[in-house]
Structure 1
């Protein structure tokens, strides 16, 4: 599913103002919901070494954006330095250099960064929106916004100017946020999946329809996996994911693995499917691209 439209807008949700980027496919189905006040991937800034972590050959950085950063030292070269305080040590406190944010922070952890050797003005002025549009959106993607600070950027943005009906209302963003922050996601056949994030992993429980008739486990499982593939991306869920599907045969388990692999091909993050455990739980991991959607 390629990104055919990006809506950049703001609105109030639970008494809090949110600035969001929401991407859609050709059928106006939402693909990504990203909080622009948290996501900073692609931002280029000056970093000052706050603490050297010699045991893992890395540094904690103070970024010019006001945030904390983390970087591994092994790719640091002398030509990267803006300020250097020791010729003997690879890096020491208060050294400065250009970095680019490559991964959003998770909770209170710092942003992951990489060293930048040469920086031009275009990169310095770049931010997450530029990064997302240039790296993930379709070449003919329509970008629409009602935010003045976005309309003025060189992104070929179409200005939305209907003051009687906002973009937030037009795309029913409140309902979309309700959906991706709810623990329960309902399936077409009456079943549901329950999404339980924990500190160590995310647990997905699949339930059949509560009806008098006998449900088809494979049908429910496929509906659940289809919805799960969408929810992983919408919620930016990453790390270890355990899925408790309805009980099926070994042959059907392999069919479900192949089915889910096809669903994941359009995901921007890398998903590794590790199969079923002895307890019949599907195990997978998803790399972290953007911050998990939180209010």
Structure 2
């Protein structure tokens, strides 16, 4: 999925003010939906060591934002510390250094961080938006925003100035949020997906619904797989994913695996297609890149 446009704006949804980054593909379909109030991947912070975890060779840090982080000691280079309290130990409590958040936290767990060896004063303002554009967006992508904090960045962001309609309403973000918040996704053929997140995994069921008898199970599965690939990224689904496709032959299952792997290669996260179980369930795992969208 190539990103054609990025919208950065804020608005009210379900009585809450949200700051969002929404990217769109060449067909104007939403690709990524990021809550900028909870997603912090890419941010750079000065960190202070709170606790050294000798049993797992890592440490808990407190960043200047007040957030807790986790970093493996093997990533540290004491010669690049801002402040060091022992020449004999690799790291000890109260040592200070710069880190970059590499993975959003899940629940109350600390953020995973990487050590920053080379650092300049300008890097301290590096945000998730900078990170996203640098890593996932090609040259020529249009970026538009009405938020002052991002207009002052080094990114080529166009200021939105139409007073007749808000940027939020222009791109129908309330409707996009409604769809992402729903567990049912309707397909063009009349079939639908039911996406059920649980504590242990995400379960996706394909129902032929109004499409019954109009398309073959294979045709419905092909349509479903394309939409599943889009929904996993749009909703930032990670971990174990079980897909209950419509029953097809073993030969057709192999074709579905090939197609699933093709979609997996286009994802910004690491997606692994593990194959079908004896019960005909498709097993997938997807790495965690950004925090799952939350209202």
Write 1 or 2 for the structure with the bigger share of strand. Answer: 1
Cα deviation code 1:85-108 (max 9, x no counterpart): 233332222211111111111122
Can you give the 5+ residue segments of structure 1 that lack an aligned partner in the other structure?
A: none
Q: Which residue of the partner structure matches residue 181 of structure 1?
A: 181
In 2, the alpha carbon distance for the partners of 1:144 and 1:211 equals: 39
Q: Which residue of the partner structure matches residue 133 of structure 1?
A: 133
Give the TM-score taking structure 1 as reference length: 0.96
In 2, the alpha carbon distance for the partners of 1:169 and 1:27 equals: 18
8 Å CA contact 1:189, 1:209 repeated in 2: no
Q: Do the aligned partners of residues 129 and 211 (structure 1) sit closer, same or farther apart at CA in structure 2, a change above 3 Å counting?
A: closer
8 Å CA contact 2:191, 2:211 repeated in 1: no
Q: Which residue of the partner structure matches residue 26 of structure 1?
A: 26
Cα deviation code 1:242-276 (max 9, x no counterpart): 11111111111111111122223321111111111
Q: Which residue of the partner structure matches residue 72 of structure 2?
A: 72
Q: Which residue of the partner structure matches residue 61 of structure 1?
A: 61
8 Å CA contact 2:264, 2:272 repeated in 1: no
* Residues 84-93 or 130-139, more deviating: 84-93
In 1, the alpha carbon distance for the partners of 2:73 and 2:105 equals: 19
Q: Which residue of the partner structure matches residue 193 of structure 1?
A: 193
3-state SS in 1 of match to 2:169:
helix
Give the TM-score taking structure 2 as reference length: 0.96
3-state SS in 2 of match to 1:82:
coil
Can you give the 5+ residue segments of structure 2 that lack an aligned partner in the other structure?
A: none
Q: Which residue of the partner structure matches residue 149 of structure 2?
A: 149
In 2, the alpha carbon distance for the partners of 1:202 and 1:65 equals: 32
Number of residue pairs matched by the alignment: 295
Q: Do the aligned partners of residues 251 and 98 (structure 1) sit closer, same or farther apart at CA in structure 2, a change above 3 Å counting?
A: same
Q: Do the aligned partners of residues 212 and 142 (structure 1) sit closer, same or farther apart at CA in structure 2, a change above 3 Å counting?
A: closer
Cα deviation code 1:147-205 (max 9, x no counterpart): 12222222111111112201110110011011111111111222111111112211111
Alignment RMSD (CA, Å):
1.4
8 Å CA contact 1:209, 1:215 repeated in 2: no
In 1, the alpha carbon distance for the partners of 2:88 and 2:148 equals: 49
Q: Spell out the pairing of 1:242-281 with structure 2 (5 A cutoff).
A: 242-281=242-281
The alpha carbon displacement at 1:122 in A equals 2.7
In 2, the alpha carbon distance for the partners of 1:59 and 1:271 equals: 29
In 2, the alpha carbon distance for the partners of 1:211 and 1:142 equals: 37
3-state SS in 2 of match to 1:254:
helix
Q: Which residue of the partner structure matches residue 42 of structure 1?
A: 42
Q: Do the aligned partners of residues 213 and 278 (structure 1) sit closer, same or farther apart at CA in structure 2, a change above 3 Å counting?
A: closer
Q: Which residue of the partner structure matches residue 289 of structure 1?
A: 289
Runs ≥4 in structure 1, deviation > 3 angstroms?
210-215
8 Å CA contact 1:104, 1:291 repeated in 2: yes
The answer on 1:16 being equivalent to 2:16 is yes
Cα deviation code 1:36-66 (max 9, x no counterpart): 1111111111111112222211111111111
